[in-house]
Amino acid sequence: MLAKSEIQRQALNLSAQERIELVVDLWDSLAPGEIPVPDWQRSLIRDRLAALEGILPEERSASWEAVRKQVFSDTT
């Protein structure tokens, strides 16, 4: 088995595309329970979900046209 430092050295010699593919493969190899979620992130998710509860489903999303107008409108 290769040491972490040797794996890292070899990985850094890969092309950018190969390194991206390696990162994706490594990430995909993790099971959901293996990914640590800090308490502050759990709290943030709970707060955002609670804020959504009072909003009607049609108010939770917007059409592309409405988003485009908001993003590209000249507010100056």
| Residue 41, pLDDT above cutoff 60 | yes
Q: What is the three-class DSSP state of 35? A: coil
Note the pTM of the prediction, 2 decimals.
Answer: 0.51
51 vs 56: which has the higher pLDDT: 51
Amino acid making up residue 27: W
Could you tell me the residue range of the domain that residue 60 belongs to? 1-76
Half-sphere exposure of 75 (CA within 13 A, CB side): 4
Residue 71 and residue 63: Cα distance in Å, rounded?
12
Alpha carbons 15 and 21: distance in angstroms, whole number? 10
pLDDT for 10-35, tens place per residue? 999 999 999 999 999 999 999 988 98
CB-CB contact of 16 with 23 (8 Å): no
Total domains present in the chain = 1
Query: In terms of pLDDT, which residue wins out, 16 or 53?
Result: 16
